[in-house]
Amino acid sequence: NANNLQTETNGSFWHGDIISGKDFIVLTEGIGQVTTLPLAAQYQRCSLSVEELCSDKNNPHKYDAHCWVPRSDVEPKTTPSQGFSSQASWHPGNRAHQSESRKAALTILTGLKNALQIWENAIDETGFPLAESYWHIGDTYKSVQETLTTYINGPGKGTSECEKHFEKFGFERVCRMTMHGMSEFTPVNLGGANSLHAHIKPALNGWVPAQTAVSVYSGIDILPVSWKIPPTEVDVHAIAIATTYKRPQIDQMFGNEDGDDSYYDDDNDDDKGDAENSRSLRNNGIQHHQPLEKVVDRNILSDEVVPGIGWGIFSEALSEVTGYCDGSAMSLDCHREKNNNCLLSGHNDARNTISGDGLSGWLVIQIPKVKEGLILARMEWWHPRGNWPMTEGWTEVNNGNRALGKAIPYPDDVFIDFAVNGEIIGTWDKDEIQTRIIEIAYNEAFYKFLDDEDFIQSEEGEPVEFGIRIRSESDPRMAGLSLTHVYYA
């Protein structure tokens, strides 16, 4: 919590706390009276006599979702739904989201106002241009991080709530260092550039799993008339975009930590949604490039760590990823795929996986930089089971959902091998796999594959190739595995 962080950073930690604020909202006291209230305050806090108007259940004013507005230039490929799914009683509605977002916006605007006043005072005192120390805060962040790192690896070691929670799983070291990660779930930081599939090492024939779904349309959405702000109300969005200035001619690209803005490889179209040069196969949600030729590894027990061709991207229903999905306003065309029946939702949520089975061969993930000798992964061990389309009909390696209810067990002779830089460093049998299926939180099982502080000799860290495969001689197609995240330090 904030108090602990104040101690751990020697009082240098910046933090704020946004309170509920419900007590400040004018009461809704009836159907007639509520229309006299500001739009943003309506149905937010009700008197006891009309409590149902603000309740979580049976509240007709909680949601105002629309899945599509007819337009002449775009025709959805799937019939739009009448309402967005997941409008459960325990989820906040659009009014609650509006209230919370306005509180956050006001907090930021207040901070900006104060910052501008500081800048003005500084220019009055020291002249123009404003000294960089007033508007570059990187050194401040770095100082806070260094102070925290010194404390949690020194006098505070073993005392943080993080370590107390994770030590029973053997993961406490993650609490004392800067962790990095990549994920097939969306939203994800930096969009597709930080996905698992973007870091998979190609097979010998150049094959690699890739997102191939294409957006149905691009550009802004046409919004429902019911969302129009009445003339007598404050239109926050109109105020935010109102300007008489021309668009600034500045580079909007965010650079990486090395100062290189070219995050995407110009020769790699996987993260740009370009499927023109790949023959795609989608079967039950599977997305991958069709192999140019079949490279057969006839020895199922081969210890040579060579990327296999039996791994692919598994997408849940209506969850094929298109465009850029980082959860921000930049994610305009995320999930605008042909099977989406609620294109206006704009949601970024997808729980895709990199999946394979005992015939898929090795999955090799290229990790940009490992410094502390730590690699973990979140895996879904319960699928696939005998139904992985990419290995259907195969009898040799490389071809010579979480289902509700009880998961189908692994074959008795199942093994998971894992390797670093082409060398196998560990093998788990069925019993060892079962002992590691321990959830640190609901549906969150993490597996530690490398924990060696002396593994990396360079202070700057080194690129690492992490390989994993699952195998079974008796029933390889029932030995399935799915990866969603890889974490490293």
pLDDT in tens, 118-169: 999 999 999 999 988 888 888 888 999 999 999 999 999 999 889 999 998 9
Q: Given a cut of 80, is residue 1 above it in pLDDT?
A: no
d(CA 338, CA 216): 6
Give residue 295's pLDDT: 38
Please state whether beta strands 312-314 and 286-289 pair in parallel, antiparallel, or not at all (unpaired).
Answer: antiparallel
Mean pLDDT of 350-366: 96
Q: Given a cut of 50, is residue 207 above it in pLDDT?
A: yes
Q: Given a cut of 50, is residue 282 above it in pLDDT?
A: no
Residue 361's pLDDT band (cuts 50, 70, 90): very high
Residue 115's pLDDT band (cuts 50, 70, 90): very high
Give residue 220's pLDDT: 87
Give residue 185's pLDDT: 95
Report the C-alpha dihedral over residues 41, 47, 50, 56, rounded to 10 degrees: 60
Mean pLDDT of 23-35: 91
| CA neighbours closer than 13 Å in the CB half-sphere of residue 85 | 9
Closest CA to 185 of 345, 396, 347: 347
Q: Given a cut of 70, is residue 186 above it in pLDDT?
A: yes
Q: Do the beta carbons of residue 410 and residue 433 sit within 8 Å?
A: yes
CA distances to 23, 56, 152, 460 from 452, in Å = 52, 49, 19, 16
Closest CA to 65 of 45, 81, 47: 81
Which position has the token pair 């009448």?
Answer: 82
d(CA 366, CA 397): 22
Mean pLDDT of 423-439: 94
> What single DSSP character describes residue 224?
P
Q: Given a cut of 70, is residue 72 above it in pLDDT?
A: yes
Residue 487's pLDDT band (cuts 50, 70, 90): very high
d(CA 10, CA 17): 19
Buried b (16+ CB within 10 A) or exposed e, 365-381: bebeebbbbbbbbbbbb
pLDDT in tens, 330-351: 888 899 999 999 999 888 989 9
**Is the whole model's pTM more than 0.85, yes or no?**
no
Mean pLDDT of 431-449: 90
Buried b (16+ CB within 10 A) or exposed e, 230-246: eeeeeeeeeeeeeeeee
Residue 261's pLDDT band (cuts 50, 70, 90): very low
d(CA 41, CA 39): 5
Mean pLDDT of 432-458: 90
| CA neighbours closer than 13 Å in the CB half-sphere of residue 61 | 20
Residue 396's pLDDT band (cuts 50, 70, 90): confident
Mean pLDDT of 442-461: 91
Report the C-alpha dihedral over residues 18, 349, 214, 76, rounded to 10 degrees: -90
Closest CA to 66 of 236, 222, 187: 222
Q: Which of 50-59, 75-84, 261-270 has the weakest average pLDDT? A: 261-270
Give residue 297's pLDDT: 42
Give residue 277's pLDDT: 27
Residue 269's pLDDT band (cuts 50, 70, 90): very low
Give residue 300's pLDDT: 45
Q: Which of 300-314, 380-394, 462-476 has the weakest average pLDDT? A: 300-314
Q: Report CA Rg, the chain.
A: 26
Q: In this structure, what are the phi and psi dihedrals at residue 462, rounded to the nearest 5 degrees? A: -140, 150
Q: Which of 92-101, 111-120, 282-291, 426-435 has the weakest average pLDDT? A: 282-291
Give residue 32's pLDDT: 92
pLDDT in tens, 398-418: 776 333 346 789 999 999 999
Q: Which of 3-17, 185-199, 357-371, 440-454 has the weakest average pLDDT? A: 3-17
Give residue 236's pLDDT: 81
Give residue 248's pLDDT: 59
Q: Given a cut of 60, is residue 262 above it in pLDDT?
A: no
Mean pLDDT of 229-250: 76
The average confidence (pLDDT) of the chain is 84
Residue 178's pLDDT band (cuts 50, 70, 90): very high
